[in-house]
Amino acid sequence: MTRGALLAGLAAVVSAAAIVLGPVTAYPSEPGAVAGVDFVTASRVVEPPMGQAAAARTRAARGGNARPARGGTAPVPGAGRFWELQLNLCNSGEAGCYSGGNAVYEGGDLIYHLRPNLVTLNEICADDLARYLLPSLSEAWPNDWVYSVFVPAVDKRTNAAYRCQNGFEFGNAVLGRVAAGSFQGVSAWGGRYGNQDRSTEDRTFACAYAVGDHLACATHLSSRSGTIALAQCRALLSEAIPHIRSEARVSGRTIIGGDLNMPFGRGNAQNCVPTGHTRKGDGDVQHVIFSNDTAFNGTASYPMTHTDHAAFLVKLTTL
């Protein structure tokens, strides 16, 4: 298959009645074209406007129960408003912070109540997306298109996808919303960093390009070495993303969210931020980096009961 055919497949626009499921193989333009990253298969789901069907799906996932009430008034989107929500849901079933899958419901409920345009997710299982997280975003935006792109971490012991204890793949994902009148399709990329620590988990990233609207990536970096985490961050921000932007002829903003395992000031997440971008952090290890064609309007943190990371919201406006 030619490079042009591959890129055409990645950028294909789905019809108004379509739901696109399954893997999208993303390649660099030629072997070795991007130092520090091996491109891998990403799984993409694109959902057309669902109306009330999304609420029915989330209610079924809760066993017919209503969503927990949340204090305050639901945000009303203003002109140009673009909110990014970063979540680490600790749902592998292996870590001490695991809470029997309850973090997925807590995260999905927060997605519904906050109505972000974009969600970056770490430490989830692949089935969490279709079961609750993506329908929660669709329920928040019932008249718009939504999508997910998922890339698993890699298990060094098998050189295959790392698995949650429930048997599904474990990794990172991007969820996004695109206004119905602006939707032109979604392309997907996944990558495995060349620089890894000695743990059993090789770190990866997931990227999605909502054509003409935004490019978004989610990643979870090394927890054992600040030096390696910084190298991985630079590989994503300064090598992989410029390559993707060039290959896909990206227009629109770029946003990267994730648990970078580097606090500001130690390891220093700021050291991987390229020119033309701004970083905002939660005071710990979660960060959002965005291109300067968006204006920064503030952040908010939301304590989470069922995971060891607060939810981190970055409020942006398109320029």
Section 153-159 average pLDDT: 96
Cβ pair 194, 234 in contact under 8 A: no
User: The whole model's pTM is what?
Assistant: 0.90
Q: Which amino acid is at 73?
A: T
Which one, of 314, 318, 308, lies nearest residue 89 by Cα? 308
Q: Is the model more confident about 2 or about 111?
A: 111
Q: Supply the pLDDT for residue 199.
A: 95
pLDDT band at 251 (very low <50, low <70, confident <90, very high): confident
Task: Tell me: pLDDT of 30 over 50.
Answer: no
Q: Supply the pLDDT for residue 96.
A: 85
Least-confidence region, from 4-13, 164-173, 235-244, 290-299: 4-13
Q: Supply the pLDDT for residue 14.
A: 30
Each residue's pLDDT tens digit, 127-151:
999 999 999 999 999 999 999 999 9
Whole-angstrom distance, CA of residue 259 vs CA of residue 182: 30
Q: Which amino acid is at 108?
A: G
Indicate the burial class of 68 (C-beta count within 10 angstroms; 0-12, 13-18, 19 or more): exposed
Q: Supply the pLDDT for residue 287.
A: 97
Section 87-101 average pLDDT: 91
On average, the pLDDT of the chain sits at 88
Residue 289 sits in a domain whose CATH number is 3.60.10.10
**Domains of the chain: total:** 1
Classify each residue of 137-149 as buried b or exposed e, where b means 16 or more C-beta atoms within 10 Å of its C-beta: bbbbbeebbbbbb
Section 32-46 average pLDDT: 86
How far apart, in Å, do the first and last CA atoms of the chain sit?
A: 39
The domain containing residue 80 runs over which residues?
3-318
